[in-house]
Amino acid sequence: MLNVSAEEPEVGAGVLLRAIEPLQGIDTMKQLRETDKLTDLARGPGRLAAALEIDRQLDGVDLCANGPLWLGTAVRETGHINTSVRIGITREIDRPLRFYEAGSPFVSGPRK
């Protein structure tokens, strides 16, 4: 899975990236995921990691520096952002800490 932390070392805080909208490298992702269905390439944390060949070797990589993995800026205007409760947790289940682009077919999990 791909978690992004923006805190100081030893402070537990982060964001789990649950899905992406594939925009480039699609043929490679299809090979890695062994599927031709575009919406299933990187929808869900495990699928996203497999599609991008993310493994423990990338643990601790600086996502703001040049390297094998980095965060970029949006290549198109983002649609409306919805919130919902998190998925697969048992504590603080009513907190709206899940954010996603409304109407995107690439979103993982329930859209309630």
**CATH code for the domain in which residue 10 is found:** 3.10.300.10
How many domains does the structure of the chain reveal?
1
Q: What is the mean pLDDT of residues 5-29?
A: 89
- Per-residue model confidence as pLDDT tens digits over 32-81: 999 999 999 999 999 999 999 999 999 989 998 999 998 888 888 989 99
Tokens of 91: 């504590």
- Looking at the DSSP assignment, which residues form a beta bridge with residue 101? 81
Residue 72 is assigned to a structural domain of this protein: yes
Residue 109 is assigned to a structural domain of this protein: no
Residue 68 is assigned to a structural domain of this protein: yes
Tokens of 22: 């594939």
Residue 110 is assigned to a structural domain of this protein: no
Per-residue model confidence (pLDDT) at position 102: 92
Confidence band of 110 (pLDDT split at 50, 70, 90): low
Tokens of 76: 């198109």
Q: CB neighbours of 58 closer than 8 A, spacing ≥ 6?
A: 68, 69
- Per-residue model confidence as pLDDT tens digits over 82-100: 998 887 788 888 888 889 9
Q: Residue 8 sits in which domain range?
A: 2-76
What is the maximum alpha-carbon separation in the chain? 41
Contact 78, 106 (CB under 8 A): no
Residue 69 is assigned to a structural domain of this protein: yes
